[in-house]
Amino acid sequence: MKALRSALTTATAAAVLLASAAPAWAQTPAPGPRVAFIDLQRVLARSAAGVAAREQLERDKAAMQKDVEAKRKELEALREELEKKGPLMTADARRDKQDQFERKRRDAARLADDFQKELEKKEAVLLQKVLQEVSGVIEKVGKERNYQLIVERQRAAVLYAAPDADLTEEIIKAYDQQAVNKGKK
């Protein structure tokens, strides 16, 4: 019995000595706040609503490009007319055609600029809508999984994140499921 106590005391002393000699990073940390991150760009790129928003923008962009292309062809035809018939025209007629060409060129440039601004505005509105909907999903998942903090990977400048702290795929699934549930109502 005395030998057993002596062995236990020696073993306990050795364990205490080893534990105190271990580096701080090797010791088990005390449980702290649960923190996770999501990648909103990936949510926007892979969620059903994000894909639908991108597709809508592409359709709008294609329609706008069609209009711009029609204006470009009209300008090209006017330019060719000026080149071919210009030398045969009177000075006043040629100047009128050149003025008409310049007006149409400015109008086409203005139209392209307006389309670009309109497209950017539509993109901002669609993305804002998706982000508002996603924020509710993020809050719900955060509460359900007992997270104290969820950060956005890009804007929060996360320098390191363990893969198991990434909630992005879970958020995408929950967001898509929420959209399906809304569709059933």
DSSP for the chain reads -HHHHHHHHHHHHHHHHHHHHS-GGGSPPPP---EEEE-HHHHHHHSHHHHHHHHHHHHHHHHHHHHHHHHHHHHHHHHHHHHHHGGGS-HHHHHHHHHHHHHHHHHHHHHHHHHHHHHHHHHHHHHHHHHHHHHHHHHHHHHHTT-SEEEETTTTT-S---GGGB-HHHHHHHHHHHHHHHHH-
- Which CATH number belongs to the domain containing residue 116 in this structure? 3.30.910.20
Provide the domain limits for residue 66. Answer: 31-175
User: CA distances (Å), 150 to each of 14, 35, 36, 52, 94, in order?
Assistant: 42, 6, 5, 26, 67
pTM above 0.75, yes or no: no
Does the residue 7 lie in any domain?
no
Residue 177 C-alpha from the chain's centroid: 20
Does the residue 92 lie in any domain?
yes
Q: Has residue 97 got a pLDDT over 90? A: no
Does the residue 19 lie in any domain?
no
Q: Has residue 8 got a pLDDT over 90? A: no
> Count of domains in the chain?
1
pLDDT band for position 119 (cuts 50, 70, 90): very high
- Gap between the Cα atoms of 36 and 153, Å rounded: 9
Does the residue 106 lie in any domain?
yes
Does the residue 169 lie in any domain?
yes
Percent pLDDT > 90 in the chain is 23
- Average pLDDT, integer, range 63-67: 92
pLDDT band for position 7 (cuts 50, 70, 90): very low
Does the residue 6 lie in any domain?
no
Residue of higher predicted confidence among 13 and 160 = 160
Does the residue 15 lie in any domain?
no
User: CA distances (Å), 15 to each of 3, 25, 28, 30, 147, in order?
Assistant: 18, 17, 15, 19, 35
Residue 137 C-alpha from the chain's centroid: 16
b/e sequence 29-62, b meaning 16+ C-beta within 10 Å: eeeeeeebbbbbebbbeebebbeebbeebeebbe
- Average pLDDT, integer, range 129-137: 86
One-letter amino acid for residue 146 of the chain: N
Min mean pLDDT across 11-20, 52-61, 62-71, 124-133 is at: 11-20
Residue of higher predicted confidence among 26 and 132 = 132
Min mean pLDDT across 19-23, 72-76, 103-107 is at: 19-23
Does the residue 59 lie in any domain?
yes
Question: What would you report as the CA-atom Rg of the chain, rounded to the nearest whole angstrom?
Answer: 33
Min mean pLDDT across 26-35, 40-49, 76-85, 170-179 is at: 26-35
